[in-house]
């Protein structure tokens, strides 16, 4: 009877732990399988090493402004304030990592992505004064429990030994999820949605601002516009770009 009572208490504790706690128990108790090939994979990496190596790399910076305007984003020299560095193109393998980080309640995955983010940033841009995150609206952050962009910004800052400043930008209004919108709707969705809280902190500073995925460029273009207006010398960093 004592053993049964203990089992009941343990079961109730697992239920009370919630989604993130249950995910941690599963990661500990069950073998993790790579979604790309089905082979064993470390829970913190999502993919096995072979599948992660198959993610198509990016070899040059992207221009968020050109991308948003429907022009080829590679090789732009006209808009230096809208450069975005990303290590990967978004394929099914990269999408598995992003989905686990963003929707799977697994923010700890971000810690292992700092090296990939840092490798995409040129040495000349690593001597930055501040690393920022693209903000979530507070209501959405409460729903998710964390901001995945902030976790990636933490990882990048640690990888390049740069100062981290959280909360420098704010969402001034709640926007619709960008994943469900077309190009023009995405731009309208984030227009005026970001604000620099204390421009004096950023004026004249070299800044990297981090997001998870860049698709149309609307979110990072909007954030970089605000940073430029505050007098910052900014560039974006994203984990992946959707070509």
12-16, 53-57, 227-231: least confident range: 12-16
Residue 32: pLDDT band (50, 70, 90) is: confident
Model confidence at 65: pLDDT above 80: yes
pLDDT of residue 52: 97
Burial class (CB in 10 A: 0-12, 13-18, 19+), 140: middle
Model confidence at 27: pLDDT above 70: no
Cβ-proximal residues to 37 (8 Å cutoff; 6+ apart), any chain: 48, 50, 51
Q: What is the pTM of this model?
A: 0.83
Question: Domain map of the chain by residue range?
Answer: 56-241
Convert the pLDDT of each residue in 146-198 to its tens digit.
999 999 999 999 999 999 999 999 998 777 666 666 667 777 777 778 999 99
pLDDT of residue 24: 44
Tell me what percent of the chain is helix, strand and coil, each rounded to the nearest 5.
Answer: 50, 15, 35
Domain spanning 56-241 has what CATH number?
3.40.50
Model confidence at 229: pLDDT above 70: yes
pLDDT of residue 190: 76
Do residues 212 and 152 make contact, with C-beta atoms less than 8 angstroms apart? yes
């Amino acid at each position: 009877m004592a053993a049964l009572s203990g089992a009941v208490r343990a079961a109730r504790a697992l239920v009370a732990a919630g989604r993130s706690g249950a995910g941690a128990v599963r990661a500990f108790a069950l073998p993790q399988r790579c979604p790309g090939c089905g082979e064993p994979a470390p829970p913190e990496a999502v993919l096995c090493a072979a599948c992660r190596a198959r993610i198509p790399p990016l070899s040059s910076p992207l221009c968020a402004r050109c991308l948003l305007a429907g022009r080829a984003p590679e090789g732009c020299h006209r808009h230096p304030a809208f450069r975005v560095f990303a290590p990967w193109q978004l394929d099914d393998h990269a999408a598995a990592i992003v989905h686990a980080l963003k929707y799977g309640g697994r923010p700890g995955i971000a810690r292992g992505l700092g090296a990939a983010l840092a490798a995409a940033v040129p040495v000349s841009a690593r001597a930055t004064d501040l690393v920022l995150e693209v903000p979530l609206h507070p209501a959405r952050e409460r729903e998710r429990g964390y901001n995945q962009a902030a976790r990636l910004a933490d990882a990048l800052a640690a990888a390049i030994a740069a100062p981290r400043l959280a909360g420098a930008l704010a969402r001034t209004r709640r926007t619709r999820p960008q994943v469900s919108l077309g190009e023009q709707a995405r731009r309208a969705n984030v227009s005026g949605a970001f604000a620099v809280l204390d421009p004096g902190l950023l004026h004249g500073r070299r800044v990297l601002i981090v997001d998870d995925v860049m698709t149309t460029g609307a979110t990072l273009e909007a954030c970089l516009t605000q940073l430029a207006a505050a007098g910052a010398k900014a560039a974006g960093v994203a984990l992946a770009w959707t070509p």
